[in-house]
Amino acid sequence: MPGIRILLLTPPQPGLVRRRHPQLPVLPAAQLSLRRTPAGALKRGLLPPLGLAYVAAVLEQAGHTVRLLDAPALDLGFPELVDEAQAFGPALIGISAMTPTSLWAFRLAGELKAAMAGVPIVLGGAHAICQPREVLAACSAIDWVATGEGERTAVELAARLGSGRSVAGIPGLAVRGSRGQAELGPPAEPVLDLDTLPFPARRHYPMLSYAPEPYENLRLPATNIIAGRGCTWSRCTFCERAGPMKRPYRIQSPRRVLEEVRGLIRDYGIRELVFYDDDLMSNARWIREFSGLLLSEKIDILWSCRASPNAAVQRDILSLAKRAGLWALFIGFESGDQGLLDRVNKGIRVQRSREVARWCRELDIQVIGSFIIALPGETPAQGLETIAFAQELDCDYAAFIPLHPFPHTPLFREARAEGRIMEDPYDGGMSATRYIPRAAYVPEGYVRRQAVEAMVRRAYRRFYFRPRYLLKHLKRLRSLEDWRRYLDGVKFMFDMVR
């Protein structure tokens, strides 16, 4: 069976300004998706979309010709993407979107369909997985929706298109029926042995144009990596991991991940990794083996990962990981009120959060704390207590996020019945503050959406603009790279609270 031409895209994000610095080496033109990419332009807060890169890799492995364009990284707008699509001549277009970028994905699909009416368009990503029926109802330009992990669905879809067969009934694919209604195929079986997947096809991306937010890294170049899939807990009532995106937990072998790390160092000079796993630190055995490999093979790499302050996190594991290059943990503390945590089934204890934060301070591991504003039952007074709790934990950085119950999760159903879900929380991507998403859920104590958003801005002001906090960070500045990162962080904070 001959392969087909497939174009994979992420939508533009109009109005989202990324800070740049021409401080990295320029990639050879042959390694860039488009030559128009600004030479050496470094965009803070933008990292490669790895899910789409995994899909590209398996499609290429199956013999198809793939082009992958990450519009925000390449500074491509809607007209440029249409031009590129027409020049490439694909038989299938795939777009990936999260909820904040879904409206831009719909617009992109509409413009592509207007220019290339005969080319089918499939939408994938978290938004599509959570709301396949809603997507097909909202955007007539989208023909199909991927409803699970995309690799097997994409390969089967491409095979059927290449042979002229019907796509109806493909596992993990929702199609529009003859009467316009959504028809869902059977669920796609997740890939249980992740070691069998090829590495994500990062060569499609302008790799050295990406960089984490200033608080997410110490050295550049830095990039993201995924070792496992699924969540070890999967019970939080508001999270997609407990709803439409619930999947069994799987993880690549430490040696397989080490092989990928070696490739990143060799091909792109990567000096630091951000693990995007939901809760990598909960897998103590994996962390122990991976850290041991980094130490025994003398791999010079810094890394950070996500963690929940649960019983799996132990001081001796943290100490070993620190020696192997771990410099920061992104920890979901969420709240300092045990009753609020229990109400959403977080599975963590406030005292345990204090203990894990203390271990990190003792081991000189930086803590980036995540806190949720407007949990069910929360009052503004409890919101202020969560801000104080973040200060008490002495987090090096903190993110304060308004609660977003994902569609078809237990909390979403409960909140919708009570009339507490905002139907269009993202309004095209971001609120007037640019970086703070609009409140999607308003508990009784806050009354209005604007009160939740005001509490989020207050949290950032109270946490970051403390003399003690500013002095603590100024003392850490040792190099020009430290100063650049610090100034980026200051700009980021002013954008958050203005």
Average confidence (pLDDT) over 82-109: 95
Average confidence (pLDDT) over 368-385: 95
Residue 433 is predicted with a pLDDT of 38
Lowest mean pLDDT among 117-121, 424-428, 481-485: 424-428
Are 101 and 119 in contact by the 8 Å Cβ rule? The answer is no
Residue 426 is predicted with a pLDDT of 46
Tell me the three state secondary structure of residue 370: strand
Average confidence (pLDDT) over 274-300: 95
Residue 178 is predicted with a pLDDT of 76
Reported residue count of the chain is 498
| 296-335: b (≥16 Cβ within 10 Å) or e | eeeeebbbbbbbbbbebbeeebbbbbeebbbbbbbbbbbb
Residue with the larger pLDDT of the pair 240 and 118:
118
Residue 487 is predicted with a pLDDT of 63
Give me 330's structure tokens.
């992104």
Residue 192 is predicted with a pLDDT of 94
Residue 498 is predicted with a pLDDT of 55
Name the burial class of residue 89, with classes exposed (0-12), middle (13-18) and buried (19+) by CB atoms within 10 angstroms of its CB: exposed
pLDDT digits (tens, 9 = 90+) for 211-230: 998 888 889 999 999 999 98
pLDDT digits (tens, 9 = 90+) for 433-459: 345 567 888 998 898 889 999 999 999
Work out the percent of the chain whose per-residue pLDDT is above 70.
Answer: 85
What pLDDT band is residue 388 in, cutting at 50, 70 and 90?
A: very high
Give me 194's structure tokens.
């992740």
Are 53 and 70 in contact by the 8 Å Cβ rule? The answer is no
With a cut of 90, say whether residue 232 has pLDDT above it: no
Residue with the larger pLDDT of the pair 86 and 476:
86
With a cut of 70, say whether residue 260 has pLDDT above it: yes
How many Å apart are CA 205 and CA 478, to the nearest integer? 32
Give me 134's structure tokens.
């809603």
How many Å apart are CA 316 and CA 362, to the nearest integer? 12
pTM of the model: 0.89
Residue 413 is predicted with a pLDDT of 85
The identity of residue 77, as a single letter, is: G
How many Å apart are CA 37 and CA 76, to the nearest integer? 9
- Average pLDDT over the chain, rounded to whole? 87
The identity of residue 390, as a single letter, is: A
How many Å apart are CA 113 and CA 99, to the nearest integer? 21
What's the sign of the alpha-carbon dihedral 134, 110, 33, 67? positive
Give me 470's structure tokens.
């500013």
Among residues 201, 221, 204, the alpha carbon closest in space to that of 32 is found at 204
What pLDDT band is residue 417 in, cutting at 50, 70 and 90?
A: confident
Are 433 and 364 in contact by the 8 Å Cβ rule? The answer is no
Reduced DSSP (H G I as helix, E B as strand, rest coil) percent helix, strand, coil of the chain, to 5: 45, 15, 40
* Phi (first) and psi of residue 211, to 5 degrees: -160, 145
Work out the percent of the chain whose per-residue pLDDT is above 90.
Answer: 64
Give me 13's structure tokens.
């994000």
With a cut of 60, say whether residue 39 has pLDDT above it: no
Among residues 429, 373, 453, 436, the alpha carbon closest in space to that of 98 is found at 429
The identity of residue 366, as a single letter, is: Q
How many Å apart are CA 318 and CA 329, to the nearest integer? 10
Q: What is the dihedral of CA 338, 339, 341, 342, to 10 degrees?
A: 110
With a cut of 80, say whether residue 40 has pLDDT above it: no
Residue 169 CA from chain centroid, whole number: 29
Average confidence (pLDDT) over 43-49: 88
